[in-house]
Chains A and B, each alone.
Chain A
């Protein structure tokens, strides 16, 4: 592929082929369309590429499809209460609902874990306080360095 210079408008062959889809789907703006057509007229290699690309799109049109059989709508109406047809409600959930559900589950999990940790910490503190006020421990010198033990989280 070569780089083509065209009457004030430059378009490389690569840039040209990148526009095939938009040209085929009628989505090129007027100015781009003009540049596209100018390149098409001036580059034989690209013209061959484009002809093949556009031809495939035309070939697809040869599939005309099938017509619904007679009474399709009536038969469908008769199946409205067919228990064999399950409703997969979850399938239709949009992505944001799945994300919200996942976020809720995660929040509950994290919240539960934090709550559990706090509860454990509080129980530890309560146990420590109880021991601190247990005079009999001091009376009998059972624990000499209670503060040090708290720092090591031994209680």
Chain B
């Protein structure tokens, strides 16, 4: 019976000591992808800072982005996170992130040629997104919309293209 007591104690310890803060790990990983994208994309007349606009208030995504920005900003290149709901104002951001829950808003996004649109739902590149997260074999992958990028004013480094699924 002693073994059982240890077992119970073991499980109890875990259960008691763990704060159950619910945040989605996948969102977090995607924000890091986005951070890496910003390093491989060159915007025209950039001052080194990147302002990311999150379309629609998806709390989980916003929290993940803010955490990423807090950690990854440096004095010379700040990452600024803003939440906006008026899709027609997308042009003021270097990068616009459309959470899956707000994917339907893509049709109203009016982006400028210097805004990178990142989404996370299959089929979004066909609807005009520049970079779109997909799942492949249990891993996160991203599609790159060659046509829209070729027509834009920002430059995408070849290293990023080499890792992407070019569509």
A and B from one assembly?
no
Residues of B within 8 A of A (CB): none
